[in-house]
Structure 1
């Protein structure tokens, strides 16, 4: 995959989509099985309900993802476009859409969000109107910053994703112009707690251990409680990061662990305890040295240290345009992300190995069904 570029025509959209190799558009796709799955096949996922699919369920996210970020062409009516996309999502995930070319959808999910410009059109005081600020260690082309529309697709079968993407982009037609896209895959997962797993990233460490995993935590930190037009939606942040893998790999394992503040093999905090245990940030050696270094990632990004809520983090390993990660987080207050990264910016040892090359944030729309079209609460 090359650098971000515009694709001004439907033909360009379809050509780019047809050549995608490994994919997925959402980060953590939601499962709501309406019918039993075939033996060996993943359970189908209902796209309808109070929240969009692809955020909290299945608890273990599908391994393949494609994120597409686009702008709306001038004069496009937002409400009808979102309603059409929602209907296409419904038929694709149900397996009744001929554009699937006969393939079963399996656990396919699609999650759709709108960027700050569109949210401001719906209401200037709504959550989701603020653009992400620029941070250090960024080399972001203007075309890879921001955007009007996010389409996330996740699936266990990587073949399904470009086919679903082609159908959705065909549905949108010339009403949108693609800015950038990124495919990714999740590493092997390990158990974190009962019903909760987390994958290994390309640095060899377990990624996304801490998050709002319980219903109470999700109600507090993940889902928007209001105002009414955005209730049951959430805020997504996407950051594509190149990683200096060779320099990190050259470090001794103990130094790598000091960067993260966790054991590489088990994911447990350097202060001890189980993988899901809250790290003891005050624990010291007999000589008075912190067990978790002052610049360790687990310390600098700790929500209690930063003073923010939990974010649901979904990271995907990428090969192109360079080895690294597509970081996706969901939270009900964008300050959960911005305050965390600001706190990390000057003193987090992990950031020294990263360069951000794409950055965007979106309001993930509330859930929908056949009586309530996608986006209808914001764009009636």
Structure 2
């Protein structure tokens, strides 16, 4: 996989090189702009719009999970191995994040950070060594339809970078490599979110490369986040469990189906996002609804049925999918208070989910998104101690 190139020893852009010139000289190609393209209404926001509103990195919880409320359209995710002292490496990484988000780091080459967020998690090896019983100490098991080599499974640290300005993503990851040499990259992936569709008041969700609205049934209120996303107590309190799955999708095969067959595989209308059981896009699916001839309106193998939390007996998970151009597919990210929320759901999906017939997973991992931090409370200090 191609890596982003350093801009220079200190990350500065050469004098006189404009943003337009940077794009024209191959910067756009290096960014790997995915299916939604470089132009985005949020990416060209004015100073009063969300894309230009800064998201504070400091706090009781890390940004990039519930903040900002509407996820930025561009994402880069990188997974690393860590050598050395986790407390020191994470503290340096946290200080770097604060500088980047506040626009203090020269690596941004004069660009405004806008709604940039950088979210950090640690893998099971590090968690188990520090707190064997803590959330995140258990590794993610294997599942059917996986084609994952050792380099693309697991890892010690994950860094999720999100922004409305796609130029920021590679610049941030370059700076992470420069400032934290104890991190050795395993793999990275970029993705984009398509145009948002209104689901209900206070919640919208994007379309993915299959044409369907993705991420409809997710926690949106503070109460729902507290019940299903945030870890409530212990050294990981205020954190969450992040699962990432890179899925290559046979888009051509899925597109060869009729619209009706596509909708049966998903369990929702492609145009409106409404469940096949009836109602509007924001209404819960009715898994018991039947047609006049006695058939379930949502087929037994429909994705909306197999991934529904109720039959699995689990709470909602915060699910986000990002469309990928290379490889063509979806980068799936979920966040939940317990890993079992994800594993029990995927076990049900693996039994019979029509959508999985078009996908194979080529990278996977689970990570404890660390509790929040600030200048006085280093990133990771609640688990690994301070310097």
1:204 aligned residue:
211
* Structure 2 gap ranges (5+): 12-26, 35-45
1:114 aligned residue:
122
TM-score, normalised relative to structure 2: 0.88
Q: Is the counterpart of residue 176 in structure 1 residue 186 in structure 2?
A: no
Alignment check: 8 A CA contact 1:283 1:292 kept: yes
Q: Secondary structure at the match of 1:356?
A: strand
Structure 1 residues 1-380: aligned runs within 5 Å: 1=1, 20-22=30-32, 38-39=47-48, 42-73=52-83, 76-173=84-181, 175-227=182-234, 229-320=235-326, 322-380=327-385
Alignment check: 8 A CA contact 2:55 2:67 kept: no
CA distance in 1, matches of 2:380, 2:186: 21
User: What root-mean-square deviation, in Å, do the aligned CA atoms of Structure 1 and Structure 2 show?
Assistant: 2.0
Shift of 1:38: 2.5
CA distance in 2, matches of 1:54, 1:22: 21
**Deviation per residue, 1:88-128 (Å, 9 max, x gap):** 00010001112211111111110000000000111111110
2:20 aligned residue:
none
Number of residue-to-residue matches in the alignment: 354
Alignment check: 8 A CA contact 2:212 2:273 kept: yes
Q: 1:23 to 1:379 in 2, by over 3 A?
A: farther
Q: Secondary structure at the match of 1:378?
A: helix
**Deviation per residue, 1:159-205 (Å, 9 max, x gap):** 111111111221101x1111000011111110011111100011110
2:23 aligned residue:
none
Q: Secondary structure at the match of 2:304?
A: helix
Q: Secondary structure at the match of 1:258?
A: helix
Q: 1:18 to 1:293 in 2, by over 3 A?
A: closer
Shift of 1:22: 4.0
TM-score, normalised relative to structure 1: 0.90
CA distance in 1, matches of 2:29, 2:133: 40
CA distance in 1, matches of 2:28, 2:95: 22
Q: 1:18 to 1:259 in 2, by over 3 A?
A: closer
CA distance in 2, matches of 1:350, 1:215: 31
CA distance in 2, matches of 1:378, 1:341: 29
Q: Secondary structure at the match of 1:271?
A: coil
Alignment check: 8 A CA contact 1:70 1:178 kept: yes
Shift of 1:226: 1.7
Q: 1:312 to 1:158 in 2, by over 3 A?
A: same
CA distance in 1, matches of 2:349, 2:169: 34
* Structure 1 gap ranges (5+): 25-36
Q: Secondary structure at the match of 1:240?
A: strand
Shift of 1:48: 0.7
**Deviation per residue, 1:204-253 (Å, 9 max, x gap):** 100000011111111010000021x1000000000000001111101010
Shift of 1:18: 11
